[in-house]
Amino acid sequence: RVDPRRDKIELDGKRIVHESPVYAILHKPRGVVTTLSDPEGRPALGDLVKSLGARVFPVGRLDYHTSGALLVTNDGDLAHRLAHPSHGVEKEYLAEVEGTVGGGALNRLRGGVELDDGVTAPAKVSQPEPGVLRITIHEGRNRQVRRMCEAVGHPVTRLVRVRIGPLRDAQLRPGEWRALDLAEVKALSEAAAG
């Protein structure tokens, strides 16, 4: 047994330091890449999470032009379970699209859409107002919601992720983050148990 507060642990001569688990939700702004740094010099997630005081990484990705809820953590096991489609953790988006989406397009989105990398899993889709779709998926393919909407003839003009599993925070402004409380971490863990 190892007590990280008392024992010194090394691997190949380098000390391994135990980090306490960190869990936070961030509102990723548009125009920020979901990496800790960017070789092209674009604004990156790492700039927004420096103040967490711990080395964290994003759970999944949001593309450069998408904003909204993004989890960051140093808990690799939970991150993997939340991001992997086999665990069925839902991600909910609000998509402003070109045109008013008719019933046929809505049914295609709900049933699965043929994309260049295969058919998507069925999605939960509603149209709360003309030109706005609420889309809930559990996969995480590259630019999936944008590609699904384009495939049914309604390109996305604005995309915001509003929920990850049971977690949402409409109070966060772009670029802001907050630590999760124990109940939220437990709820995320339970959502990723499936």
Residues 188 and 167: beta-carbon distance below 8 Å: yes
Structure tokens belonging to residue 50: 């420096």
Which one of the listed residues 7, 38, 47, 63 is annotated catalytic? Answer: 63
The CA distance from 15 to 182, in Å, is 29
Is 117 part of the annotated catalytic residue set?
Answer: no
The CA distance from 160 to 169, in Å, is 12
Structure tokens belonging to residue 34: 């979901």
What's 44's DSSP letter?
B
Structure tokens belonging to residue 166: 């049971």
Catalytic residues: 63
